[in-house]
Amino acid sequence: MKHFTRRSFSSLATKGILGSALLGNLPMANAFTLSDKNKKLGIALVGLGSYSTYQLAPSLQETEHCYLAGIVTGTKEKESIWKEKYNIPKQSIYNYDNFDAIVKNDTIDIVYVALPNSMHADFCIRAAKAGKHVICEKPMAVSVAECDAIINACNENNVKLSVGYRMQSDPYTKEVKKFVKEKTFGDVLFVSSDAGYISKGNPDQWRLNKKLSGGGALMNMGVYAIQTSIYGTGQNPISVSAQEFSTRPDYFKDTDETITAQFKFENGAVAHMMTSHNANGNRLKVHCSDGWFQLDPAHSYGPISGITSNGNILEFPHKRQQALQMDDFSKHILTGSKNIAPGEMGKRDMIIVEAIYKSISEGGKEQKLSLGNLGVVS
């Protein structure tokens, strides 16, 4: 982490879209019309860690509506490696200090922030002020207040915002939502979702550093379990109770290891989730009045696998979820199609995360949730 630097949010107060080409009062990045639906948008990846290296960049070789146009890294050695591998122009390579110069680069339409969680708000806001559309990797931020700051910055600068919820673009997720909406197996009664893995890596990694991650398993894999609990019922929860467990306190010194939580929903359904950095979990099962359906695995990069109580096996052609995700957001920008993972969804999930941590701090006390005003459900 020694390569990372931080910048003050206020340092760009007089910069940003003032230096970009304008069309009326809108940044050029937001000036697309329906006639541009065949255009490919340029994406710059901010942070070249494992996710960008092994998932985002390869996925951008398979996308239809966007392409890898630039990079932002704090590691000098990576500049030449990525430049050669992906034929990235020198003028589209930035570091964390000169990132704001991206405002002058018309080949970059979208900035994908894939940094440690504590750096999301900083770079999302700077990208918005530069007139670039924003994809923020999950979780959206380390607090609800930071989510609000990101949303406000994007609104004020007339740019689009999406959260890196790759599963929202996956065909298996869409099938689950269809089952729930059409009541294929009757009314949803109970949802069970597990999302976790066993961490055996460097104890100094940023995910185990609360200042960088904002939390442990809940702020990582837990977001998937929250999401599946919601689209598994088709509703936002009205309350949550939670518990925390630790079996390796010598390793998980600063962050949560394992968390379980229970949700209640307005229609009477309930859900149980488990997330962990010390237990494997990768399943969603939805119990209904007339049967059940499940995904196992449910959260991994794929291929996903599904089955229903009537013996049907769910099968869809496999494509990189990140490619589907980035194409969906690009189509939203180009054609006005639905933004399937807007910033408000990321804020909603952070409200739930904060409520889970509060419940744990209060001995598992049930926390009421008011999420209807956010305008997002599944």
Residues tagged active-site: 138, 224
Place of tokens 């598992």: 364
Residue type, 152: N
- Grouping H, G, I as helix, E, B as strand and the rest as coil, residue 15 is coil
Query: What are the structure tokens assigned to 65, written together?
Result: 């509506």
Which residues, listed in sequence order, are joined to residue 12 by a DSSP beta bridge?
none
* Cβ neighbours for 241, distance < 8 A, ≥ 6 positions apart: 261, 262, 359, 364, 365, 366, 367
Place of tokens 């939502």: 177
Rounded distance between C-alpha atoms, residue 127 and residue 26, angstroms: 15
Compute the radius of gyration of the chain from its Cα atoms. 21
Of 137, 96, 113, 104, give the one whose Cα is nearest residue 8.
96
Alpha helix positions (H), 262-342: 321-335
